[in-house]
Amino acid sequence: MSNILLVGIGGFIGSILRYLVSGWAQQISRSVEFPYGTLAVNLIGCFIIGALAQLADARGIFSSEARAFVFIGILGGFTTFSSFGNETMNLLRDGESLRAFANVSAHIVLGLGAVWLGRALAFAIWR
């Protein structure tokens, strides 16, 4: 039961952070044609999970409760792949195939790169 509460509290925090960061990034981009806010949140989330996963693997610094709170709760609430899917489908529905392809490509390539970079930097700093 305690892990369920930890995930819920973490999800609450992550969702609020997602709302704030995504809105801020979208506002800075001044774009109504491309979901930069969602891209920013996904890249930040991928980077953070990469760095923290490296620390967890290399140092074992997360208890099962901490993993539930941070990885499932906060980061699960923060990253927005459901929004990503919906926004991509909206672009396709609106006949914006090139933008939809750019959205998918950017999320996959840059997201995987961000996870790799997070892990590499965490390894270099905390080995």
Nearest to 43 by CA among 87, 94, 107: 107
Q: How large a percentage of the chain has pLDDT more than 70? A: 100
**In this structure, what token pair is assigned to residue 61?**
């610094």
* Res. 113 pLDDT band, cuts 50 70 90: very high
Question: What's the rounded mean pLDDT across residues 30-57?
Answer: 93
* pLDDT exceeds 90 at position 83: no
- 95 backbone φψ class: left, alpha, beta (φ>0; ψ -120 to 50): left
The pLDDT tens digits for 10-32 are 999 999 999 999 999 999 999 98
- Contact present, 46 and 118 (Cβ < 8 Å): yes
Tell me, letter by letter, the H, E, C secondary structure of the chain. Answer: CHHHHHHHHHHHHHHHHHHHHHHHHHHHHCCCCCCHHHHHHHHHHHHHHHHHHHHHHHHCCCCHHHHHHHHHHHHHHHCCHHHHHHHHHHHHHCCCHHHHHHHHHHHHHHHHHHHHHHHHHHHHHHC
pLDDT at 81: 85
| Full-model pTM | 0.81
pLDDT at 31: 92
Instruction: Output the average pLDDT for the chain.
Output: 94
* pLDDT exceeds 90 at position 80: no
